[in-house]
Amino acid sequence: MKDISYTETQAIRYIRSQFETLAELYGYDATDPSPLEMLSTLETKSGEAIRKEIYEFQDKGGRHVGLRFDLTMGLTRYVAGNRSTPMPSKLSSFGGVFRYDEPQKNRYRYFHQWDIEIYGRPHIYQDVEIIEFTSRFFESLPLNVIIHLNHRKLVESQICHVFHDVQSDDVIPDMLRALDKTQKKSRADIMAEFAAYDESRLGLILDMAYWRGTPAHIEPKLPSHMRNHPKWLYLKTVLSALNNMGIHNIQIDFGIVRGLDYYTGMVFEVFGTNNTALAGGGRYDSLPGAFGRTDMGAAGVAGGVERIIHELDQEMPTTHDVAVMYTPDTYDVASKLASTLRQKRLRVRFDVSARPLKKQLSASSQDCRYGIIVGTTEIRDNTVILRDMKLRTQHVISYEDIDKYLSL
């Protein structure tokens, strides 16, 4: 587990603020599922195999419990257990999750996730809104992303077509697993791992990882059984609706299949400019049924906050609006100004160690948008020096004009 620094805490707060503001605009009700779940709840998604990836233990009451590894399971349990909840139910959540994983770059045992979910009778409009929200959220940060969209039923139809004469319950999950590995392993390694299957047939499935682009670009490559599949029309309808909303950062990608035990329909992943996976989502209509609610489906999206922070890097907004700086003779005037600006809801950095002005400037240069220097000459002339910390320019303004320049 790692400690979270001030800088990272500020970044998390910023991302949370952007997320919660947008979620409220879209009508999602903020909900925080319990961080501690019964182990049986956490195993609903992947069975006992999930124990290797989570923190699980027996509590003092002899109950087998575990720390949540995502927000979706807890939200689904919550909705499924509250039958009086009106449908459709739209929930949002932002919080810390735990995974027993080998720590590595941008991958931690404790990290934060954002999440939205829609529960109720499945409808294509839900899928459209989930993707629309995702695009708008990254736009608000701001981050340029590409959303790769697919439908599991289309992929499964091709698997069944290629292996039409193979009688085995393992074919579909094995081929989905092979296709999912194309983003992480070489074709040769995947071929070796699934050597039990006919090489030419396996190759036809792996070829799907290269079917990506607009519908007009992909459609000529599709076998007739996929072009005529109702889910191909479904994908085109989703894209058409999103284009109508002005969202154009979507592409079809048949290499996206996501969790084998989780998703049942539409799936998508979000990639940043460095091809970093930032979020993923889709439909998982069978999940509520695992909690006894076969009367409703589910669709949602979730993403890691720390990955967003890494992707934003130097583009993070400043954590202070203004720094008020002073010399030994001007503390009284400067401290009063800082107090006044804070009462007007500005985030003000003010040095409380009486450091030289040069050190105050250096300390404020990275996390403040503006700097106000109060010197003896400025007090005499009823002025201050307003410094743009980003552009590194400055000019003298009257004391009365501070509010105007800071847009108060």
pTM of the model: 0.85
Domain match, 200 and 164 both: yes
Can you give the CATH number for the domain in which 237 is found? 3.30.930.10
Q: Which residues of 149-165 are buried (b: 16+ CB within 10 A; e: fewer)?
A: bbbbebbbbbbeebbee
Domain match, 309 and 342 both: no
Can you give the CATH number for the domain in which 353 is found? 3.40.50.800
Query: Which of 254, 284, 314 is a domain's end point?
Result: 314
Burial of residue 53 (CB within 10 Å: 0-12, 13-18, 19+) is: middle
For the chain, what is the mean pLDDT? 92
pLDDT at residue number 315: 60
Which range of residues forms the domain containing residue 342? Answer: 320-405
Burial of residue 261 (CB within 10 Å: 0-12, 13-18, 19+) is: middle
pLDDT at residue number 165: 87
Domain match, 86 and 229 both: yes
Neighbours of 41 (CB within 10 A): 19
List the structure tokens of 306.
């720390």
pLDDT at residue number 316: 64
Interval 189-210 mean pLDDT: 93
Give 272-310 pLDDT, tens digit per residue: 988 899 999 999 999 999 999 999 999 999 999 999 999
List the structure tokens of 312.
């934003």
Bridge-based pairing of strands 146-151 and 250-253 is parallel
Domain match, 338 and 389 both: yes
Smallest Cα–Cα separation from 145: which of 318, 298, 18, 303?
303
Confidence band for 101, pLDDT divided at 50, 70 and 90: confident
Domain match, 284 and 190 both: yes
Confidence band for 50, pLDDT divided at 50, 70 and 90: confident
Beta carbons of 54 and 69 less than 8 angstroms apart:
yes
Instruction: For residue 81, tell me if it sits in a domain.
Output: yes
Domain match, 132 and 237 both: yes
Give 113-126 pLDDT, tens digit per residue: 999 999 999 999 99
Give me the number of domains the chain comprises. Answer: 2
pLDDT at residue number 44: 81
pLDDT surpassing 90 at residue 213: yes
Query: Which of 268, 294, 314 is a domain's end point?
Result: 314
Interval 103-110 mean pLDDT: 77
Confidence band for 166, pLDDT divided at 50, 70 and 90: confident
